[in-house]
Chains A and B, each alone.
Chain A
Amino acid sequence: MTRIDDYRQVAPPGVVDIILKLAERVRGRRFLHVSGGRFGGGAAEILRAVVPILCDMGIDTHWEITGGDPGFYTTTRALQAALEGAERVLADEALAHYVEMNRVNAKKLSLEADLVVVHDVQPATLVAQRSDGRWVWRCHFDCSRAQRRAWSFFRQFVAQYEAAVFSLPEFGRRLGVPQYIIYPSIDPLSEKNRELTPREVATILASLRLSQDKPLLVQIGPFTRAQDPLGVVNAYRLVKKHYDVRLVLAGTAGDERESLEVLAELREAAHHDPDIVVLELPPDAHLQINALQRGATIVLQKSLREGFGLGAAEAMWKGKPVVGGFGGGLAQQIISDVTGYTVHSVEGAAFRLRHLLNNPELIARMGTAGREHVRRTFLVTRNITDYLALLIHLSG
């Protein structure tokens, strides 16, 4: 188990001491997180890092999860998609069942704490069964474009919280409760981000049948149109006229039609060019992602739309410049001209890639700046500091 002192080697100087002082102030108070599960990315990935550290510091911290029958999961997935702006049909009976299942969940769970932080959609209606303590809804996605009907239903529950926390101000909506802003974070000591030796990187890349004989341009992310992997292929083709590079598109496909279509188109493109490598990875390929980012010359994150998306921060932590789009939190992560570039088009991505490949010293300088930017802004230590500040601010 990682301990808070392990982070002294990676966090900015003095930050661990601040965390320990904050922890002293909240000792004796109970801190509870509730989410929809313990596995996967997003909230669960952050909580897997945050909760053990809070416990290690002697803070009475617990993490509960909600569950239900298949209908419950189907409804919560559809509701979350609708709150993210997708068109979904939400039957009144299905929504009532979702609320009812959480009423049952509330009976099984221990929900008493000084601060209860409820993450995302699945457990959100637990607030209707709240007892003591302060309750905060932590929204990890962008709900600014929520479907009107979905939001009308969901808003009645959000209004019962003392506050909401969003990853960015633009991700929120008009609410009657205070809205705090906490960026998500990466864990620098996790499998996905820990240091790897060049030999480890080479071994893992070799296991993926990937040679490092030429510069690697790497984009990691789901094979969806929102991530624009086809745009990345077109940008690569513009670059390839001048530089002998290899493009690696790695991610998880899922079983949705859109994803399968995008993957098929990418495979077709790869069929005609051996320097386009499409890697379909399992969801737990953390070490492989780590090695791919470390083996990259430049990392792309050319998303058209996404949540906060921490791929850019992960790559910058590994000292890589990032050429990214404007979707989600990319503009917050990439300081244009300092840690990489934010671009609006395929041509813009190609231009910046060529510029970097033509100026290798810039790649090194931006990589160093990016790592320092992530160290100060996107490490889990900052996230813990924010949660402790929230606990102190809300529970007095």
Chain B
Amino acid sequence: MRTAKHPFGFIGCVELRQALDKHALDERELMDRLEEVPPGSVFYHTHGYFLRHRPLTTAYGNDFARWAAVEVRDQALAERLAVVDPFGFPDLELLREELVTIIHDHLRRLNTVPRAELGGAFHFQQSHIVQVELGPLATTLAEFRDGLAAVDASAIYFHMVEARTRLGRPSGDFAEWLRTSLELPALADRIERIDTYMTSLERVRARVLSLVDQALEEEAA
């Protein structure tokens, strides 16, 4: 069995949430505040959604869409925001611009600004990620598979989302290690292409495991 040049260490993460002193009671305020908040807050309410909202609540894709649907009851805006795939943007400023443009275009079609009448305000937040090294290091594909199957789901988030978006590793850590350290470029490409949007961390884990199992079977054959 192939041995990696450098071992892979799984890293889990814990999110410490911080409230920013910015909130919105209607959709125009949401747009205005969204233009002002730090990039970390855009990240928290979009990519971070997948860390917090486990299988039960991934229906909206980001916090802005969820607020529009649940608190404002504006399904049209919720749908338009929900379809924005945060993983499709190379940086957070472009993602912010897309979200602001969607709200702006939506408001231009309306005579009144929809407001959270019965529900609550949108409270902007950001988070601090505390990294946690997990488990033994993996030096082979089989060890990588065993580690991946057992680690806390936050490790899937860290290596597939945080690494790509905030840590400047656009392929994600799994694909990068498989390509450069274990020299399995085909498997790395397949993992890099996994759609992490609108699904749960457990489903992403299952897809990576399935691809790794397939590679292990091919190797054994």
Contacts and interface: CB of A to CB of B under 8 A. Distances in A.
Interface of A: 12-15, 17-18, 21-22, 166, 169-170, 172, 174-175, 178-182, 326, 331, 335-336, 338-339, 344, 369, 372-373, 376, 385-386, 388-390, 392-393
A339 B23 CA distance: 27
Given A369-B56, A376-B54, A17 B19 contact: no
Given A14-B150, A170-B123, A21 B133 contact: yes
24 contacts: A12-B153, A14-B12, A14-B150, A14-B153, A15-B152, A18-B14, A21-B12, A21-B133, A169-B23, A169-B125, A170-B23, A178-B18, A179-B21, A180-B16, A181-B18, A331-B119, A335-B56, A335-B57, A338-B56, A372-B56, A376-B54, A386-B16, A389-B128, A389-B130
A181 B41 CA distance: 14
Contacts of B15: 389
B14 A386 contact: yes
B17 interface: yes
Interface in B54-91: 54-57, 70
Say whether chain B's binding surface is mostly helix, strand, loop, or mixed: strand
Interface of B: 12, 14-19, 21, 23, 54-57, 70, 118-121, 123, 125, 128, 130, 132-135, 150-154
A39 to B, nearest CB: 29
Given A17-B134, A335-B57, A386-B14, A174 B19 contact: no
B212 to A, nearest CB: 18
Contacts of B123: 169-170
Given A373-B56, A388-B14, 6 more contacts: A14-B154, A17-B152, A172-B19, A175-B21, A335-B57, A336-B70
A18 B12 contact: yes
A14 B119 CA distance: 35
A393 B16 contact: yes
A302 B151 CA distance: 39
B18 A22 contact: no
B154 A179 contact: no
